[in-house]
Amino acid sequence: MNLSAIFGEALRALRQNRLRTGLTMLGMIIGVAAVVLMLSIGQGARTKINETIAAMGSNLLLVVPGAMSSGGFSFGSGSVRTLTINDAHAIAELTSIRATAPVTSGTVQLNYAAKNWSTLITGTTPEYFEVGNWTMESGTAFTEAEVRSAARVVVLGSITAKNLFGDEEPVGKTIRITNRPFLVVGVLMAKGQSLTGRDQDDNVFVPISTSERQITGNQFPGSIRYMLVQGASADEMDIAEIEITQLLRQRHRIPSGKDNDFTVRNLTAIADVATDAAKIMSIVLGAIASVSLLVGGIGIMNIMLVSVTERTREIGIRMAIGANQRAILTQFLLEAMMICIMGGLIGLLIGIGGAWLVSQVADMLIVITLGMIGLAFLFSSAVGIFFGFYPAQKAASLKPVDALRYE
């Protein structure tokens, strides 16, 4: 008997018992739908985290000033302004480093026309936008020359721009920062939340020199709050870290045996932790959903065993008229597989539908990949073969005379 004929026989048997076929399939449908839904939620979370990491910029190191202690009293990290703009310039010269961006910050009041808004101000250099992977919505970043001349120019974060200007185009307009007029030269593209949940779009950026001299002032001229450092390549991050440490110790004249007065943090390592967490979450979600698929598979095995017992006489008749063991095995295996594959396809559609619903209702990012669809299909066929084989084997190994005599 060729395969298409056996396929026809299997299909006929499934049609004869629609309700049972449907209920058995339901186990498979729910299992596959759950797997697809869980995988798409997990994948969505991973994609979201990856986007956030990409937005953060790649190969980043953060250098912050160290803690100062006085009389056994520690002031905590950043309590002393040991890092300077010149440190940043020196680090930028290292071969393992692509760029550095020194940062000072403070809080300021902004005015435009009748509106006013309080936000974070960041004094930095043009490299900041490059290192932090920012893109401009309109206009341009300020230039090196504007940093040197401490020009009154400002780049707005997207939320700040919206709050001050509404639908109006900000570039070319003048806003007042602590009552000094600043020309808006650019508006940044929105970035969303950072990994730590901070809004990255509600802020303004001015040249570091302008900030220091005209806005926040500086107790220790030339000192900075922190600097962002971008390594030349992902492979050399460890080397970059060591080189920065050596250079800064030398520049700060720290004798060997004394602690650093600064800290170098690898942001990529933080990103790796977040990626791993998301990965573990998708694995856990998938594993939980797989349990329901397993239960569905056991349901199929159960029903197929009942079916084999019920149809013992039919098997006997088929053997008497010339079915060999392979034909019987194939027929029952195909029945189980057809339940699984059909159930799998329906489950896939329901899973995709459910994922869409979740994305709409819960406003979550849901990602369905072709690989996931393939995986669901492969998984359901595998369940069919795995759980269908034993009943099919049982049917095929019946002795013709016993099967025929079965009442």
Q: Which residues bind other proteins (CB under 8 A)?
A: 1-2, 4-5, 8-9, 12, 16, 313-314, 316-327, 399-401, 404
First to last CA, the chain: 27
Q: How far is the CB of 16 from other proteins (least distance, A)?
A: 5
Q: How far is CA 266 from CA 199, 242, 244, 270, 272, in A?
A: 21, 11, 12, 7, 10
The amino acid sitting at 192 is G
Nearest residue (CB) to other proteins, 258 versus 326: 326
- At residue 381, the 3 state secondary structure works out as helix
DSSP characters over 69-134: EETTEE--TTSS---BHHHHHHHHTSTTEEEEEEEEEEEEEEEETTEEEEEEEEEE-THHHHHTT-
Nearest residue (CB) to other proteins, 9 versus 261: 9
Nearest residue (CB) to other proteins, 137 versus 314: 314
Q: How far is the CB of 8 from other proteins (least distance, A)?
A: 7
Nearest residue (CB) to other proteins, 2 versus 256: 2
Q: Which residue has the tokens 């900030």?
A: 211
Nearest residue (CB) to other proteins, 1 versus 358: 1
Q: How far is the CB of 315 from other proteins (least distance, A)?
A: 10
3-state helix, strand, coil in the chain (%, to 5): 55, 20, 25
Nearest residue (CB) to other proteins, 223 versus 312: 312
Number of Cβ atoms within 10 Å of the Cβ of 237: 20
Q: How far is CA 125 from CA 56, 129, 131, 132, 289, in A?
A: 17, 8, 10, 12, 50
Q: How far is the CB of 400 from other proteins (least distance, A)?
A: 4
Q: How far is the CB of 398 from other proteins (least distance, A)?
A: 11
Does an H or E element contain 286, and which?
helix 267-310
Q: Please tell me the number of Cα atoms within 13 Å of 350 on its side-chain side.
A: 15
Nearest residue (CB) to other proteins, 4 versus 70: 4
Q: How far is the CB of 31 from other proteins (least distance, A)?
A: 30
Distance CA 358, CA 347 (A): 16
The amino acid sitting at 121 is I
Q: How far is the CB of 386 from other proteins (least distance, A)?
A: 25
Q: How far is CA 356 from CA 51, 283, 363, 367, in A?
A: 20, 20, 10, 9
Q: How far is CA 345 from the centre of its chain?
A: 27
User: By the 8 A CB rule, do 208 and 123 touch?
Assistant: yes
Q: How far is the CB of 407 from other proteins (least distance, A)?
A: 10
Q: How far is the CB of 338 from other proteins (least distance, A)?
A: 18
With b for 16 or more beta-carbon neighbours within 10 A and e for fewer, the 136-165 pattern comes to ebbbebbeeebbeebbbbbbbbbbbbbbbb
Q: How far is the CB of 392 from other proteins (least distance, A)?
A: 16
Q: How far is the CB of 313 from other proteins (least distance, A)?
A: 8
Nearest residue (CB) to other proteins, 163 versus 330: 330
Nearest residue (CB) to other proteins, 389 versus 406: 406
User: By the 8 A CB rule, do 175 and 110 touch?
Assistant: yes
Nearest residue (CB) to other proteins, 125 versus 331: 331
Distance CA 207, CA 128 (A): 10
Nearest residue (CB) to other proteins, 78 versus 400: 400
DSSP characters over 203-252: EEEEEHHHIIIIIS--SSTTB-SEEEEEES-GGGHHHHHHHHHHHHHHHT
